[in-house]
């Protein structure tokens, strides 16, 4: 039975960082509503496992190994994804990393890695896909940012800066490639994904937000489906906060 509000039948989706965490939740949600999905991340075996989840739902899937911090690999992914099905209808820029390091101890190498993975690679991939969408039948781009871009925390300055740049890119792309391409941002707060396994138990139970707790991974799904589907046809250049009320 198709979802009457978020029907993605016949849509082709590319999700970076789609093999675990919030990315994997989105991959499964898209496939459950009729989409075929390309899952991209560094570890091919993890992508293959996610692709098998999609196939179990009766949809097609392709696993691709990519390091999104590299400009040329972002270009290669754009070409491979587009040529695989002849188009991409929905791009989710989800790959990222957020190491916590005191600012005075940050190395240039780590600074560059954080900026490249969270902004440079996503920019290049989205720019290429957006142009192809604009020249074709249009599409939707979803950038996954962070509440850290809106409410920066100590010891994650490069991450907050990169995600702030991603937010700015969303607004720029909405104007540059609209009206055929809609570009929006999801801004998540703390979520109980696999990285939360390393958190203290108190941090897994409570959070400094209006709801007083971290998010459950499945709680990202409705925001992603809204922005990916025609239900958000008049939403462009927006930042959708899914952060429990930070």
Give the DSSP H/E element, type plus range, for residue 80.
helix 71-85
Residue of higher predicted confidence among 69 and 201: 69
Q: What is the pLDDT of residue 173?
A: 98
CA–CA separation, 62 vs 44, rounded Å? 10
pTM of the complete model beyond 0.75? yes
CA–CA separation, 167 vs 171, rounded Å? 7
**Residues labelled catalytic:** 159
CATH superfamily of 12-242: NAD(P)-binding Rossmann-like Domain (3.40.50.720)
Question: Each residue of 7-36: pLDDT tens digit?
Answer: 999 999 999 999 999 999 999 999 999 999
Please compute the mean of the pLDDT values over residues 59-77 and round it to a whole number: 98
Q: What is the pLDDT of residue 84?
A: 95
Q: Is 222 exposed, middle or buried (0-12, 13-18, 19+ CB in 10 A)?
A: middle
Q: What is the pLDDT of residue 2?
A: 64
Tokens of residue 99, six digits: 């190491």
The answer to whether 241 touches 223, Cβ cutoff 8 Å, is: no
Query: Cis omega (within 30 of 0) on the bond before 179?
Result: yes
How is the chain split into domains, by residue range? 12-242
* 202: confidence class by pLDDT, cuts 50, 70, 90: confident
Handedness of CA 163, 241, 195, 217 (dihedral sign): negative
Q: What is the pLDDT of residue 222?
A: 94
Strands 139-144 and 36-41: unpaired
Question: Each residue of 167-193: pLDDT tens digit?
Answer: 999 999 999 999 999 999 999 998 887
Tokens of residue 4, six digits: 């009457």
Instruction: Tell me: pLDDT of 118 over 80.
Output: yes
């Amino acid at each position: 039975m198709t979802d009457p509000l978020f029907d993605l039948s016949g849509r082709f989706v590319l999700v970076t960082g789609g093999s675990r965490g919030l990315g994997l939740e989105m991959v499964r949600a898209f496939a459950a509503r009729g989409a075929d999905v390309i899952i991209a991340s560094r570890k091919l075996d993890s992508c293959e496992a996610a692709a098998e989840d999609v196939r179990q739902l009766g949809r097609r899937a392709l696993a691709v190994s990519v390091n999104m911090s590299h400009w040329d690999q972002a270009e290669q992914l754009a070409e491979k994804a587009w040529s695989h099905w002849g188009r991409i209808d929905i791009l989710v820029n989800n790959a990222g990393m957020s190491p916590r390091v005191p600012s005075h101890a940050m190395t240039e190498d780590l600074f560059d890695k954080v900026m490249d993975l969270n902004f440079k690679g996503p920019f290049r991939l989205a720019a290429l896909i957006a142009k192809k969408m604009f020249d074709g039948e249009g599409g939707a781009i979803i950038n996954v940012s962070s509440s850290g871009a809106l409410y920066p925390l100590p010891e994650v300055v490069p991450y907050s800066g990169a995600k702030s740049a991603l937010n700015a890119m969303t607004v720029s792309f909405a104007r540059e490639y609209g009206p055929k391409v809609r570009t929006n941002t999801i801004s998540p707060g703390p979520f109980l994904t696999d990285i939360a396994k390393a958190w203290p138990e108190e941090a897994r139970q409570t959070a400094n937000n209006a709801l007083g707790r971290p998010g459950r991974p499945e709680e990202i799904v409705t925001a992603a489906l809204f922005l990916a589907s025609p239900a958000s046809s008049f939403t462009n250049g927006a930042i959708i906060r899914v952060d429990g009320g930070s």
